[in-house]
Chain A
C-alpha cells in the first residue's frame, strides 16, 4: 500500500495496451500508478506518458525489480514470449501479477465468469481481447444448452493491433481456444482472427457461431442479454449487434466501442482487455485494502 491508501502499481510495456492501461489506472481510487516501464526512452508510448506527468522508466523489467519497495500489483503488457521470464523474475515478490499477453502462464480469468480466482492466484492471465468479449456469452449459452461446436471470429482494426499482438497471433488463437473450452465446457472450438484494413477503421467485433440441437431464439437471446448486461457494468461499449437462431445454429455478434479515454472508439479490443484487467485488480485491491484497514484499526 502506498501513502495515499492505494495499492502501488507498475505496468510493464508501453505499447498500445500498456499506454491505455496506464491511463485507466491513473484514474483509479484503489490503485496508485507508480511506474510504467518500456524497453527504451524513445518509445512513443513512454514519451507520451512522461509528457502527461506519469512516472516512467526505460530498461524494461530491471527498473522495476531494482526498486527498494516492492509493488502490490504488476501488469504485464509486453508479449507472450517475454512473460514467462517476467513471471520468474517477479516470483520472489508478493505482487499480484496481471498478465495481458496470451502466455497462459497464470490462472486465466474472465471477470464475470471466475473473477474471484484473482484473489487466490498470484499470477492471473487475461486470455485475449477476443476471449474477454466472447467467453461471457459462450459461458451463458452453454450453461443452458448442449453445444456441439463453437466458432469465434474476431475482427479488429489494423491500427488497434500493435506489433506484439501481430507476432503473437498463434498464441492469441491457442489461448483463446483453450479458454473457451475451459470456461464453456465446449470441446470442439475454433477461433479465427481478422485484421481489417478499412478506413475509417472498423469497430472491434466478435462473431460467434454455435451448433446445438436444443438452441432456440428465445433461450439464446435471454442468455446473451444477461451476459451482455453484466459486461456493461465495466465495459460500457459492449453491445450485441446480432443474435439469431436457425435450424440448430446460433449466430451472435458482439461489438465493443471504446468509451472515454484517449484511445479511438473503434479500439474496443484494447478497451475490453484493459477494463477486465483493471476490474480484476480493483477487486483484489478492495479486499487487500479492507484487510489492511482491519489490521490497523
Chain B
C-alpha cells in the first residue's frame, strides 16, 4: 500500500465558508495545531487564492501578506502552501508569497485552460519553487481531455498535477476514470480535491487514491463553501484503515479539527438544499451567499438560480452572472403571470 500526502487547505478553501474573515489568532492557532499533528502541507490565503480579495468574490479580513506571515511563523515541520489563479493573482503576488517562505505553490486554471498557467509555472520553476498545476471545475471535461491538460501543466514545469471537483458533482466512478487517465499521462504525483455536495467527498478521495492519486486535499470539519470539502479527520483514518500511510498522528489530528470546529466556524458545513442543488447543477457552492442575497431581494427561488447558472456553465469567478440570471428568471416569471 502507498503513502498518501495530505494537503490541508482549511485556511484557504475553508475561508469561503466565513466570507474570508478568519483573523490572525485563528490562522495562527489552527496552523500550529495542524503542524503538531504532522499534516504535511498547510495551505493559506483568500478562498480564491493570492490577489483575489474583491467585491466579486468577497474581501478578506487580512491581506495576503498578513495571512502568510502569521501562518509561516506557526509552522515548524509542515510546509506552507499557497494557491493562485492566473487572471486573479499575478507574478508579483507569487514573488511576495515566495518572500514569505511559501514552500508549495499551486497554480489553478479552469479545466480546459491549462495554457493559462504556462507563464506562472515557468516563473516559479525558474525560482526553484515547488509548483503544482491544478484544474478547477473538472466535471466540465472528460478523462482524456483532463489527462491532456495535465500533461501540458507538466510541460510548463508542474511537479504535481490534479483536479478539483469544485462543485462536488462527481460520483466515485467519475473520479476513478479521470484520475486513472491522468495517471497514465504524467509521471508526477496526481492530486484530487473533493467537495461534499452529494455526500461523496470521502468516497471520491478513496476512489482517487485507488486509481493512483498520491496527494489528497482535505479540510478540518470539511470547512469550505456550502456543503464543504472532504473532511480531513475522516479521510485520514479511512485511508489508514485501507492500508495507506499518511504520517499523521490521529489524536493530534482530532485535536486540531476539534479546535477548527470550535474556533473557525459557527457551524460545521452541512449538505443543505442549496448544497445538493449546487452539486447536481455543477455550480461552485461559493456562489451560495450571493445567490441567497440577490434571489431573496428579487423574490426568485434560489434553487432555480443554481440550475440556470449550471445551464449557463458558470465557473467559479463568474459570480457577476448571478444578477443577470436572477433578472432573467424574474422577468420570465412575470411573463408567465401575465399570460396566466
Contact = CB atoms under 8 A, between A and B. Distances in A.
Interface residues of A, number: 33
Interface in A175-223: 190, 192-199, 202, 205, 207, 209, 211
B265 interface: no
Interface residues of B, number: 33
A197 B112 contact: yes
B56 A195 contact: no
B90 A173 contact: yes
Interface stretch (A135-143, A163-171, A285-293): A163-171
B23 interface: no
A190 B54 contact: yes
Nearest to A192: B88
Interface stretch (B14-22, B38-46, B115-123, B170-178): B115-123
B24 interface: no
Interface string B93-126: 0000000000000000111110110110000000
Contacts of B55: 149, 151, 209, 211, 249
Contacts of B113: 158, 195, 197
A155 B318 contact: yes
A285 B86 CA distance: 38
Nearest to B317: A194
Given A151-B55, A169-B119, A241 B318 contact: no
A198 B91 contact: no
| Interface hub of A174, A193, A194 (most chain B Cβ within 10 A) | A194
Interface stretch (B239-247, B249-257, B273-281, B319-327): B319-327
Contact of B317 (A151, A192, A202, A209): A192
Nearest to A152: B56
A220 to B, nearest CB: 14
Contacts of B312: 198, 202
B137 interface: yes
Given A151-B54, A209-B56, A197 B118 contact: no
Interface in A141-166: 149, 151, 153, 155, 158, 163, 166
Nearest to B48: A192
Contacts of A167: 118-119
Given A158-B113, A190-B54, A244-B323, A198 B87 contact: no
Given A151-B55, A167-B119, A190-B54, A197 B111 contact: yes
Contacts of B313: 196-199, 202
Contact of A241 (B52, B116, B140, B324): B324
Given A242-B323, A244-B323, A174 B87 contact: no
Given A170-B91, A197-B112, A151 B56 contact: yes
B323 A166 contact: no
Contact of B116 (A166, A173, A174): A166
A205 B112 CA distance: 19
A255 B112 CA distance: 22
6 contacts: A196-B313, A197-B110, A197-B141, A198-B314, A202-B313, A209-B55
The list of the 5 closest CB pairs from A to B, nearest first, reads A207-B320, A198-B313, A193-B87, A197-B112, A170-B90
Interface of B: 52, 54-56, 86-88, 90-92, 109-113, 115-116, 118-119, 137, 140-141, 297, 312-315, 317-318, 320, 323-324, 327
Interface of A: 149, 151, 153, 155, 158, 163, 166-167, 169-170, 173-174, 190, 192-199, 202, 205, 207, 209, 211, 241-242, 244, 246, 249, 251, 253
